[in-house]
Structure 1
Amino acid sequence: MPLKSNTWFLPRRTTNGGTCVGTKFTEDAVHVRNDLRPEAGTAVFTHEEWAVFVAGVKDGDYDV
């Protein structure tokens, strides 16, 4: 979990003006949104769901 909770943050590899995924960790959930269009909605995951997703990314399950 990031050092600051309940605050939206962007990945370190974000480039200025690019498509960005904003993430916010709260005590109960992980919130994910398109940072360029935050009004479009937010996906909400449990911490367990997020951990499984991140593990899958690291394992290459979502490599394109």
Structure 2
Amino acid sequence: MPKKMNEWFLPSRTHNGGTCVETKFTDDSVFVRNNLRPGAGTAEFTYEEWAIFVAGVKDGDYDL
């Protein structure tokens, strides 16, 4: 379970104050948005979708 529920937060490795993603966990969903443009739109994921995405990141599926 995430450290924070129902509250937007930045990744702990964010140090430069630039564009990053904010994440919010609720009972049913995970929300992601741009921290500098929060009104531009929010993506919503189920916990299953989020787990698959995080596993892909850890496996290097999204490395450029």
Please state which band the TM-score falls in when normalised by the shorter chain.
over 0.9
**Aligned pairs, number:** 64
Between the aligned partners of 1:32 and 1:42, the Cα distance in structure 2 is 6
Letter in 2 for 1:38: P
Partner residue, 2:11: 11
Q: Which runs of 5+ in 2 are unaligned?
A: none
Between the aligned partners of 2:14 and 2:63, the Cα distance in structure 1 is 18
- Tell me the SS of whatever aligns to 1:49: helix
Which contiguous aligned blocks of 4+ residues in structure 1 show a shift greater than 3 angstroms?
A: none
Partner residue, 2:29: 29
Q: TM-score by structure 2 length?
A: 0.93
Letter in 2 for 1:22: E
Q: TM-score by structure 1 length?
A: 0.93
- Tell me the SS of whatever aligns to 2:12: coil
Identity of aligned residues (%): 77
